[in-house]
Amino acid sequence: MYTDQLKRKLIIKKPIQRIVSLVPSQTELLIDLGLEEKVVGITKFCIHPYYLKQNKKIVGGTKNIKINVIKKLNPDIILCNKEENTEEIVAECEKIAPVHVSDIYTLDDCLELIHQYGNLFNCRTEADKITQKINFKLNDFKTFIHNMPKKKVAYFIWRNPWMVAGNNNFINHLLTLNNFDNIYNSKSRYPEIELKKIRLEGDPDFVLLSSEPYPFKEEHAFEIGRFTHHAKTIFVDGEMFSWYGSRLLKAFDYFKKLHNRII
């Protein structure tokens, strides 16, 4: 008997040979666990590794799947995420195969997911290697960041309406790890904000414009900058702040370079 991160029981009656992944970061993790041959279906946003979309069946996006395409793939398991996929998607997929739902807020949640995949897909050795490397890089980064002063930031994810990372999400967890004081930490999840109030709501030292899901450009940085005091705007790699799993093996080195840029 297996469980997912929502403590839902999964009944797996046979060895898993066919996997459909509806979450880009989890797709990348599967490949790094050595499971590429077993992955039969992915989303159009599963861009790592770059060649994967040429070799696997695209089953839609994370919020809009092609359920009939998934059914034809005859998967043994479908992988979802509480934030990325809707309850309706999970319910529809459960009519086809067991569905594992991840629920990620912290690094510990990430490590738990890797452990669960190690058990589910009988790749415990590979899973252990990845978690050990992540822990090593994490401890190294904590030493690096230890004496650095906190910096007030606003992390933007969308425009029209303007949306930022608040609290109770993985992005905010990594911002905190970076000694970034999120000025919208009092707001839940991914709130809409009024740009003209940014100084009243915290007046950040740095405005971080994520590369995803919105493609921010220089004119947007200028637009935001008009309402800050003297905040420096930085374009950041959104994957490093929001993708979990094996992407963390690259994230901590990226964070080091980011801090060296803004010292």
Q: Which domains, ranges and CATH numbers included, belong to the chain?
A: 2-103 (3.40.50.1980), 146-262 (3.40.50.1980)
Residue 152 has pLDDT above 90, yes or no: yes
Tallying the residues shown for the chain, one arrives at 263
Which helix H or strand E contains 182, and what residues bound it? strand 180-182
Question: What percentage of the chain reaches a pLDDT higher than 90?
Answer: 97
Q: How far is CA 71 from the centre of its chain?
A: 26
Average pLDDT over the chain, rounded to an integer: 96
Q: In angstroms, rounded to a whole number, what is the distance separating the alpha carbons of residues 106 and 170? A: 6
pTM for the full predicted model? 0.95
The CA-based angle 7-11-16, given to 5 degrees, is 110
pLDDT of residue 250: 97
